[in-house]
Structure 1
């Protein structure tokens, strides 16, 4: 189990690096948290740690963004918040991405839970009363 308290944005890169080091073989990460919890902001840090210099933004309307690492490897960033039904994920060809062996970072995975692979890293971001965040993760 991985768990870190984050008190400021300045700490995110360090926590992102620890997360990736803690799960070195995993490639699919499902990010859970309420609206405004900081999922996209944390994913920006994860992408930087993985070696992408691309502008990381929420793919809310596109459903998926692809970022490239310096080694020309893909990182796929999904946001399923606005998905209307599971068929949209099929139309997107989600399987090609999820089973590609590339990093897949998924926001709002609860919208496609039945389609998620058997093994992934569940990352939860919980906002505390003092506005800090608890970022916890485990393989499921």
Structure 2
């Protein structure tokens, strides 16, 4: 699925993503810094029923949210990881294989730990400040 959108449409885009048939619960987000990965994840988390404020886990590596239905959602920002071993030592693979939603920014920091069965979202910022999103499920 390919979608062109502006940040004003982000909540609608989050709904479209979640409506994707057989959407995998582990999703990697690929984009340059500032392209909107965190903004999109915040919108998806809201659509999943999280009522508390969501933010980027830049310094903690992972934020855990609970939706109103009790479902657990994990949001990873791996940008500050130095080595894949560091992620493994923190038990990141247990999160990835938990069966819960896992939204992963900067997955290229842990290429050998990402489950084979995952979805990917690529976001490109266009010259007119719109975005192009490609979802591979």
TM over 0.5: yes
The equivalent of 1:38 in structure 2 is 36
Structure with bigger helix share is 1
The equivalent of 2:69 in structure 1 is 71
Shift of 1:137: 0.7
Stretch of structure 1 that moved more, 44-53 or 21-30:
21-30
Structure 2 gaps of 5+ residues are none
The equivalent of 1:28 in structure 2 is 26
Structure 1 gaps of 5+ residues are none
The equivalent of 2:78 in structure 1 is 80
Answering whether residue 129 of structure 2 is matched by residue 120 of structure 1, we say no
Contact 2:27 2:118 in 1 (8 A): yes
Aligned pairs, how many? 137
Which string of whole-angstrom CA distances, capped at 9 and with x for unpartnered residues, describes residues 91-139 of structure 1? Answer: 2211111111100000000111111111111100100010100111102
Contact 2:23 2:119 in 1 (8 A): no
TM-score normalised by length of structure 1: 0.94
Shift of 1:24: 3.6
- State the superposition RMSD in angstroms: 1.0
Q: Distance in 2 between matches of 1:113 and 1:24?
A: 23
TM-score normalised by length of structure 2: 0.96
